Amino acid sequence: MKYSIFSIARNALSHHKNWPEQWRSPEPKTDYDVIIIGGGGHGLATAYYLAKEHGITNVAVLEKGWLGGGNTARNTTIVRSNYLWDESAAIYEKSLQLWEGLSQDINYNVMLSQRGVLNLAHNLGDVREGVRRVNANRLNGVDAEWLDADGVKDFCPIINISKDTRHPVLGATLQRRGGVARHDSVAWGYARAADACGVDIIQNCEVTGIKREGDKVVGVETTRGYIGAKKVAVVAAGHSSVVANMAGLRLPVESHPLQALVSEPIKPVIDCVVMSGAVHVYVSQSDKGELVMGAGVDSFNSYGQRGSFHVIEHQLGACLELFPVFSRVRMMRTWGGIVDVCPDASPIISKTSVDGLYFNCGWGTGGFKATPGSGWAFAHTVAKDEPHRLNAPFALGRFETGALIDEHGAAAVAH
């Protein structure tokens, strides 16, 4: 059923009791052309673009839990494309362009709100990095502006720009096309659109082994039995290295906890997104009125979806200096995700040394914004068995050649 004002009106007549399920829950077939491991946004987007762009529909997405239960629905939903290097700007900008038409494309409201993203500068080093990034962005056709402290105050009136603070605001980069989107809508919207193309979405199905015949992948062992596959595409985020291990591969990826938290709902006070890499604060306000905030990564490796108290204590301390107006707001919930981080803070979208086995991972603390572009480029790589020019620089080979894409300035801490 196409979602529209007419379908809402039609269903109102039956008191909204007859909406169909958004996607089927079929039993797994014995084999597929492509199996995608991981039902987060990236895996579901890959399935959708495999069907839509390449006509490959004999596809299953296997998810060990529920759709979006990983990082996809645990993140702070910041969307932007103002990365430093040409390679990153190209793929994140492709993603932002897909975001801009996504609700129409998949007939699902992903609630993209392009309210503008500020990246604050607190010292001379930050200012230099920010101005450099604005110039690099403009050369790449990505919208970017530099604001001085007064400009920041005009854009976000509740921010404290007093010079007499631990983290004075000296200026900020601004991407007006940046903003936020609704995270679980992204997973559900892609799932529904992929399902409509014939993709099987199978939840509660954990992959426990990858079956190889020589140098070729032939299927996967799962908690619901063996499933054969011509190709296996792994999009398992924080568990990528665990799945790689099943195929006898070792990835240059480390998994860390990363936390977010939300406040009780309050009246609208902040109508943009503010990020500070230096003090590990990023904040926006949800449609429900909650302040949505993220922290920095816990520095130890872990697969537990929770982080340490001192990390959010540090984050809230810095947050209150920037926004004294929040001082009596109560925080309501906190949670953690497991982020997969590469040494250069850039992702891996790549073939592997095993025929028919592909990995899309390493998005670390900032892959939500990349969901459409990542799925689009990965689908090309899987369908054609070769990378698209957008993701060729993000192949595993860069860890041998040394052609790393160092995005620590734009990606490592905040989003």
Ligand X SMILES: Cc1cc2nc3c(=O)[nH]c(=O)nc-3n(C[C@H](O)[C@H](O)[C@H](O)COP(=O)(O)OP(=O)(O)OC[C@H]3O[C@@H](n4cnc5c(N)ncnc54)[C@H](O)[C@@H]3O)c2cc1C
Contact positions vs ligand X (CB under 6 A):
37-43, 62-65, 69-72, 74-78, 206-207, 235-237, 239, 243, 258-260, 294, 337, 339, 363, 365-369, 415
Residue 17 Cβ, how far from ligand X at the closest point, in Å?
Answer: 30
Residue type, 304: G
Q: Going along 178-315, which residue ranges are E strands?
A: 179-180, 200-202, 207-213, 216-222, 225-234, 254-263, 273-276, 281-285, 291-297
Q: Collapsing DSSP states into helix, strand and coil, what is residue 21?
A: coil
Residue-level length of the chain: 415
Token pair of 354 as six digits: 């095993």
Cα separation, 28 vs 69, in Å, equals 20
Residue 174 Cβ, how far from ligand X at the closest point, in Å?
Answer: 17
The radius of gyration of the chain from alpha carbons, rounded to an integer in Å, stands at 21
Residue 252 Cβ, how far from ligand X at the closest point, in Å?
Answer: 17
Task: Name which of 140 and 259 has its Cβ closer to ligand X.
Answer: 259
Task: Name which of 229 and 243 has its Cβ closer to ligand X.
Answer: 243
- Alpha helices, DSSP H only, in 270-384? 309-322, 371-384
Task: Name which of 96 and 121 has its Cβ closer to ligand X.
Answer: 96
**Cα-Cα-Cα-Cα dihedral sign, residues 338, 344, 349, 352:** negative
Residue 405 Cβ, how far from ligand X at the closest point, in Å?
Answer: 16
Nearest residue to 412 (alpha-carbon basis) of 345, 358, 351, 314: 345
Task: Name which of 149 and 280 has its Cβ closer to ligand X.
Answer: 280
Residue 266 Cβ, how far from ligand X at the closest point, in Å?
Answer: 20
Which residue in the block uniquely carries the two structure tokens 């509740």? 158
Are 194 and 26 contacting, i.e. CB atoms less than 8 angstroms apart? no
- Kindly tell me the burial class for residue 306, based on how many C-beta atoms sit within 10 Å of its own C-beta (0-12, 13-18, 19 or more): middle
Residue 346 Cβ, how far from ligand X at the closest point, in Å?
Answer: 12
**How many other β-carbons are positioned within 10 Å of the β-carbon of residue 390?**
21
Task: Name which of 77 and 113 has its Cβ closer to ligand X.
Answer: 77
Task: Name which of 1 and 332 has its Cβ closer to ligand X.
Answer: 332
Task: Name which of 149 and 185 has its Cβ closer to ligand X.
Answer: 185
Q: Collapsing DSSP states into helix, strand and coil, what is residue 186?
A: helix
Are 67 and 38 contacting, i.e. CB atoms less than 8 angstroms apart? no
Residue 342 Cβ, how far from ligand X at the closest point, in Å?
Answer: 12
Buried b (16+ CB within 10 A) or exposed e, 132-158: ebbebbeebebbbbbbebebbeebbee
Residue 229 Cβ, how far from ligand X at the closest point, in Å?
Answer: 13
Task: Name which of 99 and 155 has its Cβ closer to ligand X.
Answer: 99
Token pair of 52 as six digits: 């839509």
Task: Name which of 366 and 387 has its Cβ closer to ligand X.
Answer: 366
Cα separation, 410 vs 330, in Å, equals 30
Residue 382 Cβ, how far from ligand X at the closest point, in Å?
Answer: 15
